[in-house]
Structures are given as C-alpha cells and as structure tokens.
Amino acid sequence: MNKKIISAAVAAAIGLATPVVMHFEGLRTAAYSDPVGIPTICWGHTGAEVKLGQKKSSDACKDLLIADLLTANRAIDACVTVPLTANQRGAFASFTFNVGGGKFCRSSLLKELNAGDTAGACAELSKWVYAGGEKLPGLVRRRAAERALCEQTS
C-alpha cells in the first residue's frame, strides 16, 4: 500500500475516532488520576511525563490527541493483517487509544479480526468494559459507541 493511501486511511480513522475519544474522555486541562489511578491530562493522555497538577492549554491538548491517535493507528498498522473499512479503523483507533497498542496487539479481538471474523472482532469490543477489575459504566457506553461504529457499513 502506498503512503498516500495509508495516510488517507489514517486521516479518515482519526476523523472518525476523534469525536468518540473527545466525548468519552472529556477535556481536562489539569492532570488528574483516572478511575484506576493513572495520571491523565487533556482527552485521556497518559504517559510518564504526565504529573498530577500539570496544566496544558486547549491547543496543546489538541496536539496530544492527534499524536495519541497517530500512535494508536501505528499499532493498528503493525498488528492488523486484514483490510479495514474506515469505520472499523476509527473504532479500533478509539479502542487502541484507550487500552494501548500492546493490549490491542495481544487481544483476542485482534486474533478474531486477523482470522477474518470482523463481526466477531466488533462484538468483542463489548467485553472490554473493566478497569482495575471493576465494570465501569463509562466503558460500557464507550464500547457500545465503538462497536456501533465498527459495525456501521457506510
């Protein structure tokens, strides 16, 4: 696949994933502890550089969101061996943004996807609703939105 096609696919995925991530993460310009204690800032950005009390501007948060979604798409590119629709890539970009590339690449969801069971992979999203051993209502709603996007045909 040439770079223009890959870039178009990634741009479409980011365009589809961004509103999902923004809605479910919410913008917080001051770092906070997420439900399982991970320091987080902006729209769900995490990492060793995030320190509680740290602040970012809205513009800096937008830049972090795009960078994080590009990172999620790199994991998708590295691990997915089957073609994806724009909606599927958008759904899996939101999911990968949330759980991380490593978990995505080791998941049973990916095994189903790479085996050609796209419907099964989309359905598998609904199982990823636990954080810290607890079922979280926000994750239930997020996974429902990701699954609906994944299953959308146009």
Residues 36-54 have pLDDT tens digits of 899 999 999 999 999 999 9
Write out the catalytic residue numbers. 25, 34
Regarding pTM above 0.95, the answer is: no
Q: Among 118, 126, 127, 119, which Cα is nearest to 144's? A: 126
- Residue 55 per-residue DSSP state: B
Place of tokens 């513009």: 59
> SS3 of 40, please?
strand
Q: Which are the contacts of 14, defined by CB distance < 8 A and separation ≥ 6? A: 66, 69, 70, 73, 90, 93
CATH number, residue 10: 1.10.530.40
Tokens matching residue 119 = 């419907």
Going residue by residue through the chain, which has 154 residues, state the pLDDT in tens, using 9 for 90 and above: 445 555 788 889 899 999 999 999 999 999 999 988 999 999 999 999 999 999 999 999 999 999 999 999 999 999 999 999 999 999 999 999 999 999 999 999 999 999 999 999 999 999 999 998 999 999 999 999 999 999 998 6
DSSP, collapsed to helix, strand or coil, labels residue 50 as coil
Owner of token pair 């995490």:
46
Provide the number of structural domains found in the chain. 1
Domain boundaries, position 120: 3-151
94: nearest Cα among 117, 75, 115, 107 = 75
